[in-house]
Amino acid sequence: TFSETHNCLTVYISLLNSDLRTSRARLLEMFTDTTCDPEIMKNATDTYFSLLQGFIASLDGTKQENKLRFMQNFKWTDTLQGNTPSAQQDAIFELVSMAFNVAIWHAKFASRLAGKENVTEVEAKDVHRSLKFAAGIFKHLKEVYIPRLITPAEKGRDLDPRVMDTYMVQCKAEAQEVTIARVIELKHNATLIAALAFETANFYQKADHTLNTLEPECSSKWRNYLQLKQHFYMAYAYCYHGQTLLASDKCGESIKSLQEAEKCYSRAEALCKEYRQTKGPGSTAKPSEQLFFTTLGGLIKITLQKCERENGFIYFHKVPAEVPQLELKASYGLAEPISFEFPAVSEQCTPEVYTTFDLTKGAKAEKAKPKQEEEVKPMKEPDLKPQKDTGCVIS
């Protein structure tokens, strides 16, 4: 009978809402679970996002807006804005906010894995993949879902396209750092290493420039980190470009390139100190104390001494006044974001269930509340102390 069918649908709707709440709570737990890995995270995200899609995607066979999209108010805090939340009565706001945190989790997972002693080749590949996957999420959100928000993201919030862009580019840059470490370990030619370092420095410069219109109090620390990484990889590029020039019997230009590497390295050291002293959101990495940082300083010094010695015995070239141009383009090893798509709508979200939802009994009467100046207690993350500091600011 109609009454029995209606009662069954009512129970089904209640179960659907319960599943949505349960899967959301489980996903939030995964963010702070030290045993969580990418496969567990994928299962948790697919379950929640497929149910949440039932409140966003059209379920009645038309192109009209899903009537459930605006029934619930969601609040999220932001990485740069402390514990003052922003709120929107929009399921897409929830979708992009949760996905943003999934991307951050993948970046943190990569940092934690990279912080182990004696990272294996398989683990290095996992670090590389996690960073590219995070970049893919940021890219997809910025291009597809953030433009669909009814209320545009506030300046400096996580969903601000500039913040999203910066995270995406930084993830690509850090993925390329893994590649650079690999090609150096396998003793690939200096030209490839210089080109990859140059491309990576350009990524960090692009990320820094993307933040230059944000308020200094929330972006200065982040920008200092991006700038020190830019100068560090420019030092790498000039160092290995100098080796290439020496191999081509251009000893004078090689010396000039190594001298420029010294300047970039010194600037990176100064920015490391400035970064540690700058107050701002996020943890503070110590890249200048890491082996990869100190090793480069020694390599530049030894290589420059070799070039000067060779020039004094063999070449007798004049050191040019102008620094050799780095017209380098890497043909291999460039990190590209891994394509990301949200899962399909859950089979639980049927047209029959959709048509039965009665918004007059739900949150329809509750209009989106203005942002309240209140403190929201952040989720307490585990005190993960890596065996070595990776120098990764996203962590």
pLDDT digits (tens, 9 = 90+) for 242-284: 999 999 999 999 999 999 999 999 999 999 999 999 888 877 7
Question: Is residue 92 scored above 50 in pLDDT?
Answer: yes
Question: Is residue 145 scored above 90 in pLDDT?
Answer: yes
Q: What is the pLDDT of residues 171-190, one digit of tens each?
A: 999 999 999 999 999 999 99
**Among candidates 242, 377, 357, 371, which has minimal Cα distance to 311?**
242
pLDDT at 3: 41
Residue matched to tokens 């991307």: 103
- What contacts 330, CB < 8 A, 6 or more positions away? 192, 195, 196, 198, 199
pLDDT at 189: 93
Question: Is residue 75 scored above 70 in pLDDT?
Answer: yes
pLDDT at 237: 97
pLDDT at 393: 47
Task: Report how far Cα 113 is from the mean position of its chain's Cα atoms.
Answer: 15
Of 48-57, 103-112, 277-286, give the lowest mean pLDDT range: 277-286
pLDDT at 359: 61
pLDDT at 8: 45
76, β-bridge pairs: 86
Of 3-7, 312-316, 354-358, give the lowest mean pLDDT range: 3-7
pLDDT at 32: 93
Of 2-11, 13-22, 114-123, 367-376, give the lowest mean pLDDT range: 2-11
Model confidence, pTM: 0.88
Can you tell me the distance from the alpha carbon of 309 to that of 217, in angstroms, rounded to the nearest whole number?
48
Question: Is residue 358 scored above 70 in pLDDT?
Answer: no
pLDDT at 200: 96
pLDDT at 247: 95
pLDDT at 63: 75
pLDDT at 7: 45
**Mean pLDDT score of the chain:** 86
Average pLDDT over residues 5-9: 42
Q: Does residue 258 contact residue 242 with C-beta atoms inside 8 Å?
A: yes
Task: Report how far Cα 255 is from the mean position of its chain's Cα atoms.
Answer: 36
Question: Is residue 214 scored above 70 in pLDDT?
Answer: yes
Confidence band for 83, pLDDT divided at 50, 70 and 90: confident
Question: Is residue 377 scored above 70 in pLDDT?
Answer: no
CB atoms near residue 249 (< 10 Å): 12
SS (H, E, C) the chain: CHHHHHHHHHHHHHHHHHHHHHHHHHHHHHCCCCCCCHHHHHHHHHHHHHHHHHHCCCCCCCCCCCCCCCCCCEEECCCCCCCCCEEECCHHHHHHHHHHHHHHHHHHHHHHHHCCCCCCHHHHHHHHHHHHHHHHHHHHHHHHHHHHCCCCCCCCCCCCHHHHHHHHHHHHHHHHHHHHHHHHHCCCCHHHHHHHHHHHHHHHHHHHHHCCCCCHHHHHHHHHHHHHHHHHHHHHHHHHHHHHHHHCCCHHHHHHHHHHHHHHHHHHHHHHHHHHHCCCCCCCCCHHHCHHHHHHHHHHHHHHHHHHHHHHHHHCCCCCCCCCCCCCCCCCCCCCCCCCCCCCCCCCCCHHHHHHCCHHHCCCCCCCCCCCCCCCCCCCCCCCCCCCCCCCCCC
pLDDT at 354: 67
First to last CA, the chain: 57
pLDDT at 6: 42
